[in-house]
Amino acid sequence: MSGEALLELRGVSVSFDGFRAINDLSLSLRQGEMRAIVGPNGAGKTTMMDIITGKTRPDTGVVRFAGHDLTKRDEAAIARLGIGRKFQKPTVFEALSVRDNLLLSLKGLRSPFALLFARETAEEAGRIDALLETTRLAPHARVQAGGLSHGQKQWLEIGMLLGQEPQLLLVDEPVAGMTDAETMATADLLRDINRTRSIVVVEHDMEFVRALGVGVTVLHEGSVLAEGALEAVSADPRVIDVYLGR
């Protein structure tokens, strides 16, 4: 794993009330890479995302992104550095229209004072239209986000991530609750996004991971159990043990 890593976790541990959710976790992601993180429930996948995005502070360890120390920054600062996060449960602003959801996500104005007098520029309108196309939500632009289907909300949230123009996307179970067709379309979308951005995707759905065709990291009890191509990893007896046997 040569070249400078975009994202690097080294020896990261965090405990909640004595329970070690993350245990000496080390992980490194190259610029432009897409990586799938798999692991049984409780393996620490979501906690890892929380650490990277500043929601949880690690007890020990190093978390670096593009040369910045993430452990000293809050969520907003980390988001502004260029890390976007999609939650497991689609989290969009339900009372706002699809368009307004995307407008708020657009990279740029973040200070409340700047927003007070801000008007939507033609350039911003163009970016929103492009996002609506990418996420196939153009026909629903004026619809309240709360009225979208589950799959559409997932896509809207991915659209909001893209609006932030992050270098790195953290995507938590993007295809949970999607139909097979939606799942495959989402795989295509992520591959497409990966041409310009790095992605970490957490997913249970092995078909989806296979469709992504990317390197896999298996987490177990808060640390890396195995890493490599999906075929190699799924043939690893330890992985089989954790996933299937017991």
Binding site for other proteins (CB under 8 A): 53, 55, 74-76, 79-80, 84-85, 87, 91-96, 100, 103-105, 110-113, 115-116, 118-120, 140, 143-144, 146-148, 160, 164
Q: Closer to other proteins at the Cβ: 132 or 209?
A: 132
In terms of CB distance, is 118 or 229 closer to other proteins?
118
Q: Are 158 and 189 in contact (CB under 8 A)?
A: yes
Instruction: Give the shortest CB-4-to-other proteins separation in angstroms.
Output: 24
Pairing of strands 5-16, 198-202: unpaired
Q: In angstroms, what is the minimal distance from the CB of 234 to other proteins?
A: 32
Nearer to other proteins, 120 or 207 (CB): 120
User: Cβ of residue 206: shortest distance to other proteins, in angstroms?
Assistant: 27
Instruction: Provide the minimum distance between the beta carbon of 241 and other proteins in the complex, in angstroms, as a whole number.
Output: 35
Whole-number minimum distance, CB 76 to other proteins, in Å?
A: 5
Minimum distance from CB of 197 to other proteins (Å)?
16
Q: Which is nearer to other proteins, 101 or 217 (CB)?
A: 101
Between 92 and 187, name the residue whose CB sits nearer to other proteins.
92
Give 34 or 106: the residue with its C-beta nearer to other proteins: 106
The per-residue DSSP string of the chain comes to --S-EEEEEEEEEEEETTEEEEEEEEEEEETT-EEEEE--TTSSHHHHHHHHTTSS--SEEEEEETTEEGGGS-HHHHHHHTEEEE-SS----TTSBHHHHHHHHSSS--SHHHHHT----HHHHHHHHHHHHHTT-GGGTTSBGGGS-HHHHHHHHHHHHHHT--SEEEEESTTTT--HHHHHHHHHHHHHHHTTSEEEEE-S-HHHHHHHT-EEEEEETTEEEEEE-HHHHHH-HHHHHHHT--
Contact between residue 218 and residue 227 where contact means Cβ atoms under 8 Å apart: yes
